[in-house]
Amino acid sequence: MSEYNAQTVGPLRAGSKARLYATVYNQSLADAALIACPDCDMLQRLPDLAPGASARCPRCDKELWRRREDALNRTLALTLAAAVLYVVANTVPMIGLTAVGREASTTVLGGALHLWRNGPAIVAVLVLVTAVVAPALQIGFMLAIVLGAHREHPPRWVGPLLRHHPATRTWSMIEVMMLGVLVALIKIADYATVIPGVALFVLGALVFLLAGIQASFDRREVWQRIEWAIAGERRAAAGDRSAERAS
Partner 1 sequence: MQQGLHSCGACGLLSRPEPGEDAGRCPRCDEDLAFRKPASLQRTWAYLIAAAICYVPANILPVLTTTTAEGTASDTILEGVVLLWSPTGWPLSLIVLFASIMIPSAKILALAYLLITVRRGSVENGEQRVRLYRIVEFIGRWSMVDVFVDVFTAALIQLQPLMSVEPAPGLLFFAAVVVLTMLAVESFDPRLIWDSASPKEVRYA
Q: Among residue numbers 26 through 85, which ones bind partner 1 (CB under 8 A)? A: 26-29, 32, 34-36, 38-43, 59-62
Given the complex with partner 1, which of 10 and 114 has the nearer CB atom? 114
CB of 86 to partner 1, least distance (A): 17
Given the complex with partner 1, which of 186 and 198 has the nearer CB atom? 186
The whole-angstrom separation of Cα 107 and Cα 130 is: 15
The whole-angstrom separation of Cα 76 and Cα 146 is: 6
Could you say which of 77, 83, 97, 144 contacts partner 1 (CB under 8 A)? 97
Given the complex with partner 1, which of 10 and 119 has the nearer CB atom? 119
3-state secondary structure of 6: helix
The whole-angstrom separation of Cα 41 and Cα 57 is: 10
3-state secondary structure of 43: strand
**Segment contacting partner 1 by CB under 8 A, of 2-10, 48-56, 127-135, 202-210:** 127-135
- Taking CB under 8 A as the rule, does residue 118 contact partner 1? yes
Could you say which of 87, 183, 215, 238 contacts partner 1 (CB under 8 A)? 183
Q: Residue 153: what residue type? A: H
**How far does CA 152 lie from the centroid of its chain?**
22
- Taking CB under 8 A as the rule, does residue 111 contact partner 1? yes
3-state secondary structure of 35: strand
Given the complex with partner 1, which of 17 and 150 has the nearer CB atom? 17
Give me the 189-218 binding string for partner 1, x by CB under 8 A, dash otherwise.
--xx--------------------------
Q: How many residues bind partner 1 (CB under 8 A)?
A: 72
CB of 58 to partner 1, least distance (A): 11
The whole-angstrom separation of Cα 57 and Cα 46 is: 9
CA distances from 112 to 88, 176, 179, 183 (A): 17, 15, 16, 17
The whole-angstrom separation of Cα 146 and Cα 73 is: 8
- Taking CB under 8 A as the rule, does residue 18 contact partner 1? no
- Taking CB under 8 A as the rule, does residue 134 contact partner 1? no
